[in-house]
Amino acid sequence: MPAQTTSMRRCTFAAMLFLAASPAPAQSLAQHGSAAAPQAQAFDAIRGPFGPPAIPPKAEDLAKLYKDMAPLSAYLGKDEADEVAFARTAAPRKIADDAEILAFDANGYHRAAAGKNGWTCLVQRSWSDNFSDPEFWNPRVRVPVCFNPAATRTVLPVYLERTQWALAKRSLAGVMAMAKTHPVPDPERGSFAIMMSKQGYATDTVGTFGPHMMVFMPNVPPESWGAGLDGVPLAAAPGDKPSITIFFFGARNWSDGSAR
């Protein structure tokens, strides 16, 4: 895998986190190769009720705090029942109640509840983040997400694979080495994910974020959908490799139906 692909690789929610997290969002967006001010305004639509702290932590402090993987126990949930309930908060009940639920334990993710609609819900951990992010090993990160059938087949496996690397290698260098030899597949057309939980924790710099949906598109440049143009309420970011674009759409309500 080319070095550029490895450095830009991320999973589902990570692109949004880093682009929305910075107290100077235009600069952050430009750093990731997206449009600046209009994109920053578009990302405001998917910010949550609790923004970054008044004085955001410095990247160098976070890098020291999360330099290494914490003890595995820090990444585990309370129990499987709690993990299942937490995962279901990612989407409205009409989806989540019939979705397959994956729960995380010391061996990775396993099926905790069978589904019948083709969707898969789980709670992501921090190692889906960009390799350059200082919070790559932040054990506080918990992000509920539900993938539709197409994304379950072609987007979710990338994150599950990286989870196994994280558990096996327990180091960023080890995970990066594995990524170099495992090309990222293109998502199927129609790949889609939902993050509408009130309860997720994004990063120490982001706080939480608002309810939103994501569409994963291979070989579709952001500008072809108008993302980043002034006045267009649509944001976009690179996906698990540069040729993949993730488009973000803000939602009015949380998964429980309450207004954001």
User: Has residue 22 been placed in a domain?
Assistant: yes
Tell me, what's the pLDDT at 209?
Answer: 79
Q: What's the mean per-residue pLDDT of the chain? A: 83
Q: How far apart are CA 26 and CA 41, in angstroms?
A: 9
User: Has residue 256 been placed in a domain?
Assistant: no
User: Has residue 75 been placed in a domain?
Assistant: yes
User: Has residue 255 been placed in a domain?
Assistant: no
Q: How far apart are CA 196 and CA 192, in angstroms?
A: 13
User: Has residue 259 been placed in a domain?
Assistant: no
Q: How far apart are CA 229 and CA 89, in angstroms?
A: 32
Question: Does the pLDDT at position 26 exceed 90?
Answer: no
Place of tokens 């820090």: 74
Query: Is the separation of the CB atoms in 110 and 116 below 8 Å?
Result: no
E strands, the chain, where? 100-105, 108-113, 120-124, 143-147, 191-195, 212-218, 235-238, 244-250
Arithmetic mean of pLDDT, 207-214: 86
Amino acid at 223: E
Tell me, what's the pLDDT at 130?
Answer: 83
Residue of 227, 167, 226, 219 whose CA lies nearest to 189: 219
Question: Does the pLDDT at position 9 exceed 60?
Answer: no
**All residues at 6 or more sequence positions from 1 whose CB lies less than 8 Å from its CB, including other chains:** 179, 180, 181, 182, 183, 184
Share of the chain above pLDDT 70, in %: 79
User: Has residue 257 been placed in a domain?
Assistant: no
Residue of 193, 237, 233 whose CA lies nearest to 213: 193
Tell me, what's the pLDDT at 40?
Answer: 52
Q: Per the structure, how many domains does the chain have?
A: 1
Q: For residue 30, count other CB atoms closer than 10 A to its CB.
A: 16
Residue-number span of the structural domain to which 105 is assigned? 3-250
Q: For residue 255, count other CB atoms closer than 10 A to its CB.
A: 23
Question: Does the pLDDT at position 10 exceed 90?
Answer: no
At 146, is the secondary structure helix, strand, or coil?
Answer: strand
User: Has residue 258 been placed in a domain?
Assistant: no
Stated pTM of the model: 0.82
Indicate the burial class of 221 (C-beta count within 10 angstroms; 0-12, 13-18, 19 or more).
exposed
At 131, is the secondary structure helix, strand, or coil?
Answer: coil
Give 139-160 pLDDT, tens digit per residue: 999 999 999 999 999 999 999 9
Q: Is the dihedral of CA 167, 170, 172, 173 positive or negative?
A: negative
pLDDT tier at 52, thresholds 50, 70, 90:
low
Q: CA-based angle 8:236:203, to the nearest 5? A: 65
User: Has residue 105 been placed in a domain?
Assistant: yes
pLDDT tier at 120, thresholds 50, 70, 90:
very high
